[in-house]
A and B are shown apart, each in its own frame.
Chain A
């Protein structure tokens, strides 16, 4: 076993078990904290994939903003902080069957694909993926339009969420 493989396996087990905890935890704050563990695991995987910018953005956006927002929302709807009854609804066996079908379908499609055992090429010497990502995001013949649209989307979401959550007296 190589060190990277060990890191991957440990991270994967951590991510999957904490994802299960997110889905099954009765306590919503605990579920949010478990989600943070999963998200951090994803950041580790991004670092392992040498996408350093994405790894750091994952921590900034997900742990620094989204997870905190979840914890705030859980505390604002305080009556439901701890699910006293079953956290799952009555139809859970059907849902489990459906999920199993989706998982098996995904897995069988993956197994059919012939590029499955492809390994990564080492990065070219001196290649800076952060710089080329920045260039790609603002160059007119690459992704400047989606980037700008995303910023408009964020602005719309900002205004919309403030308007929806505001206490209109």
Chain B
């Protein structure tokens, strides 16, 4: 067993040999190695998370024409270390009438809900936590814990701004879950499985799903941004209205956990976008050298994260009723229409040559997008005519 072709199994076997050599029971050493594996995976995610603090600060600075952190280390690369030290030594405050247990549990659950996701994400051809045959549903289930942690934080802080922020966030999460689930069904229809590993392998052997369903990728991205509560859907924070929402009362490392969770969540959604629509770890030589696949995966996830950041720092916040109407009257019907179109076109073209299949799927997506835009254009023209008859006359 070569380390470069199968790193997980070779490390596993050498450690198993070492542990049993020290006189440990085989089952016990297996359990210990599994626990160590979980710790390594979490550490990997958290180390990336620490880096993300730097990435986010640097990117937002560039978007706003600033330099960003540049004092500590090359390009300010060690900036996260003092950031973390500051968070740790800050005074840890708890509101007098807070519900202590729930209040302290919420940030932990928030970060955990994101770390749960990493159990099913395939990092490379043979580097993955577990190959669950319902991984896509599992992903939605971890989102449920995120929702729960937010409502726990908002309620237990005993602060009306926190509760308002939690209400807003939960309302948006529950409604945007529908287009997200429907957009997840598109890779599921094409591959006939809910396992992320199989979905990635299908893309490696055939084509990236971005080519056959660009609209699905777009819907997933929009729903992911809403699920994250990032701008333009950052009503949960709304600094000018409700003073940063559900984590208003949190300070020190408890706030740090929310912050780390949010950042890692954004990165994870970038990774899921890569897994579902951009071929996951697929790249040159990624099947022979799995560690290279991890690199490709992280790069693709960073790209998705960068798009999310790009939108966050460019688009202003929208009003809550606009946001809910946008979901219920536009995104959800569009997602269902896309699902119907995919379910019709896929079996029709499945047996054709690959280029016809890809072209047909791509054109059907394009057609649906065009029809949607035309419908919207017609409606908005009608609305404009109803609202501004005087202005329309005035131009002539």
Do A and B touch each other in the complex, judged by CB within 8 A?
yes
Question: Which residues of B105-156 are within 8 A (CB) of A?
Answer: 132-134, 137-138, 140-141, 143-145, 147-148, 151-152, 155
Chain B residue numbers with a CB within 8 Å of A75 are 155, 163
Chain A residue numbers with a CB within 8 Å of B36 are none
Given known contacts A36-B148, A52-B134, is B170 in contact with A68 (CB within 8 Å)? yes
Give A residues with C-beta under 8 Å from B. 29, 33, 36, 52-53, 56-57, 59-60, 63-65, 67-68, 71-72, 75, 128, 130
Q: Secondary structure at chain B's binding surface: helix, strand, loop or mixed? A: helix
1/0 per position for B203-227, CB-CB distance to A under 8 A? 0000000000000000000000000
Q: Secondary structure at chain A's binding surface: helix, strand, loop or mixed? A: helix
Contacting residue for B147 out of A29, A33, A68, A130, CB 8 A: A68
Complexed CA–CA distance, A75 and B147 (Å): 16
Complexed CA–CA distance, A107 and B236 (Å): 49
Q: Can you name the residue of chain B whose Cβ is closest to the Cβ of A69?
A: B174
1/0 per position for B234-273, CB-CB distance to A under 8 A? 0000000000000000000000000000000000000000
Q: Is A33 touching B137 in the complex (CB atoms < 8 A)?
A: no
Contacting residue for A60 out of B144, B152, B163, CB 8 A: B144
Chain A residue numbers with a CB within 8 Å of B132 are 52
* Nearest 8 Cβ contacts at the A-B interface: A64-B144, A59-B141, A56-B137, A63-B144, A56-B141, A60-B141, A56-B134, A60-B140
Q: Is B155 touching A29 in the complex (CB atoms < 8 A)?
A: yes
Q: Can you name the residue of chain A whose Cβ is closest to the Cβ of B144?
A: A64
1/0 per position for B61-84, CB-CB distance to A under 8 A? 000000000000000000000000
Given known contacts A53-B137, A56-B134, is B155 in contact with A64 (CB within 8 Å)? no
Chain A residue numbers with a CB within 8 Å of B148 are 36, 63-64, 67-68
Given known contacts A52-B132, A65-B174, is B102 in contact with A57 (CB within 8 Å)? no
Given known contacts A33-B102, A63-B148, is B134 in contact with A130 (CB within 8 Å)? yes
Complexed CA–CA distance, A53 and B163 (Å): 33
Most central of A52, A56, A63 by chain B CB within 10 Å: A56
Give min CB distance, B332 to chain A, whole Å.
Answer: 13
Complexed CA–CA distance, A33 and B138 (Å): 21
Q: Is A59 touching B133 in the complex (CB atoms < 8 A)?
A: no
Give min CB distance, A50 to chain B, whole Å.
Answer: 11
Given known contacts A29-B155, A52-B132, A71-B155, is B137 in contact with A60 (CB within 8 Å)? yes
Give min CB distance, A157 to chain B, whole Å.
Answer: 16
Given A60-B140, A60-B144, A63-B144, 19 extra CB contacts under 8 A: A29-B155, A52-B133, A53-B137, A56-B137, A56-B138, A56-B140, A56-B141, A59-B144, A60-B141, A63-B141, A63-B145, A64-B140, A64-B143, A64-B177, A65-B144, A68-B151, A71-B151, A128-B133, A130-B134
Chain A residue numbers with a CB within 8 Å of B361 are none
Complexed CA–CA distance, A125 and B213 (Å): 35
Chain A residue numbers with a CB within 8 Å of B194 are 130
Chain B residue numbers with a CB within 8 Å of A52 are 132-134
Q: Can you name the residue of chain B whose Cβ is closest to the Cβ of A74?
A: B155
Chain B residue numbers with a CB within 8 Å of A56 are 134, 137-138, 140-141
Name 13 interchain pairs, CB-CB below 8 A, sorted by A.
Answer: A29-B155, A36-B148, A53-B137, A56-B138, A57-B137, A63-B145, A64-B144, A64-B174, A65-B174, A68-B148, A71-B151, A72-B170, A130-B134
Chain B residue numbers with a CB within 8 Å of A67 are 148
Chain A residue numbers with a CB within 8 Å of B147 are 64, 68
Q: Can you name the residue of chain B whose Cβ is closest to the Cβ of A71?
A: B151
Complexed CA–CA distance, A63 and B174 (Å): 12
